[in-house]
A and B are shown apart, each in its own frame.
Chain A
């Protein structure tokens, strides 16, 4: 089946989904973010929220102020003129304690991949990741860019609890989990950074479009960050 993208789909009576493709791709995600930024910079009456995801933008609206068909026509018009090239997001240096209590799958993953602990860390920290979207749970960052050698299927049975700040691998995707909760992904470490903090003006530390480099730290350095004001400050972790 062949679809023509972009296309605008109805999601009930209060939302539209603007689909740019049906795959995970940096250029596609850049288009999603570009439209989101356009709708924030030049708001359309009645639009209540924009939600960037991998390959689509959800646009929620209040039907008392704007009808979906009118909104869809206006979005179509803007799609013709938005530039798919977004400015490079901010680059962050994210400290990680690899292994340890939160690295539930670290040793098993190293064995599975035929790597020593140091090789696994070096490989995971060797590339720049991109935040494709914040979703699922408050502040949960979905990352792209995981080296292919680390692609690993999800667990058959999800765990009931993984720690906040856990560094995950789910198929070809990577994550930084914001809050403790259930998950079927594999976990190899933990960052002391606080990704979600409702007391912060912007509750999420990271935004879609940001770039990430991981840096191995030891448990003592993590303890120094835990509970410090730095833990919650976005500007402290810019590369």
Chain B
């Protein structure tokens, strides 16, 4: 069986696949990647199935060695990668030989990176997924962050060539798009205008569960307690502090704070990738328009995944 050895690990290195859907009614959020398109592109570049597990890291990946020859790809942003000290490029696959040292990190202008390895990380699935749910110790490798000394099994690799995209994965720009509600009616019109007219800053209070934003306090005229209801990835809840909290991959499945709006699916990865200190604005769109964006975004991703080309060695 092929393996990967973790010689050193960044502060937040976990096993993630596309997540663990189907258990929200059991209180289990899906976990999975903070930036799903980047994980999907990384897997495709090394010839893996879309649902294969890879390594997600925040800022810095770590140092890795492999028991057998394999292909790797790193995505998520612009990132420094070295194979035995020689620079490699992200967003394309590379061959690594046994004994060679792969060093990944740090990311520039992005927060979450993905290291896919041919064959995928073959830890045992829990409730149908290999994703790590850190807060509950579920899935991944012993339900925890990876650390130096860990050795993970790899699955059977396909014999795909080294690949790179022929189309760019263009970063979306402009305000972060949201659908109003479900509890927009807890806020006065002036506060809803404040929400879309003000600049917010991504604070350093962030993890796989949620991101806190700094900005003008958003006071709910009907109070900051609701009868707890369901949450989504991208729900923007506002506790009594008035500071919005965007719920992410490992969120609690229900919550008791009013949710002023929900970040659209296409923009959640962009918000996740914003470095702390970055400023942003929100703009409201209708649910129907948000679905149109999701469908177009998925088509663009499928185009990219369907047109990978063999890279010149």
- Given A12-B232, A138-B28, A17 and B182 contact (CB-CB distance below 8 Å): yes
Q: B225-241 vs A: 1/0 string, CB under 8 Å?
A: 01111101011000000
The answer on a CB contact under 8 Å between B291 and A135 is no
A31 within 8 A of B: no
The answer on a CB contact under 8 Å between A11 and B227 is no
Stretch at the interface among B18-26, B59-67, B72-80, B210-218: B18-26
CA distance A133 to B228 in the complex (A): 10
Stretch at the interface among A63-71, A91-99, A115-123: A63-71
The answer on a CB contact under 8 Å between B254 and A133 is yes
Q: List chain B residues, Cβ under 8 A from A67.
A: 288, 291
- Given A14-B232, A54-B229, A203 and B287 contact (CB-CB distance below 8 Å): no
- Given A1-B185, A53-B229, A140 and B287 contact (CB-CB distance below 8 Å): no
* Number of B interface residues in the complex (CB < 8 A): 45
Contact of A13 among B229, B253, B291 (CB under 8 A): B291
The answer on a CB contact under 8 Å between B26 and A139 is yes
Contact of A142 among B228, B290, B298 (CB under 8 A): B228
CA distance A139 to B294 in the complex (A): 31
Q: Is the interface of A mostly helix, strand, loop or mixed?
A: loop
CA distance A56 to B181 in the complex (A): 14
CA distance A58 to B290 in the complex (A): 18
A/B pair count, beta carbons within 8 Å:
148
Q: B251-266 vs A: 1/0 string, CB under 8 Å?
A: 0111100010011110
- Minimum CB–CB distance from B278 to chain A (whole Å) comes to 22
- Minimum CB–CB distance from B135 to chain A (whole Å) comes to 7
- Given A54-B228, A63-B291, A198 and B127 contact (CB-CB distance below 8 Å): yes
Q: List chain B residues, Cβ under 8 A from A142.
A: 228
A24 within 8 A of B: yes
A196 within 8 A of B: yes
Stretch at the interface among A44-52, A82-90, A211-219: A44-52
A137 within 8 A of B: yes
Q: List chain B residues, Cβ under 8 A from A53.
A: 227-230, 254
- Minimum CB–CB distance from B30 to chain A (whole Å) comes to 9
A130 within 8 A of B: no
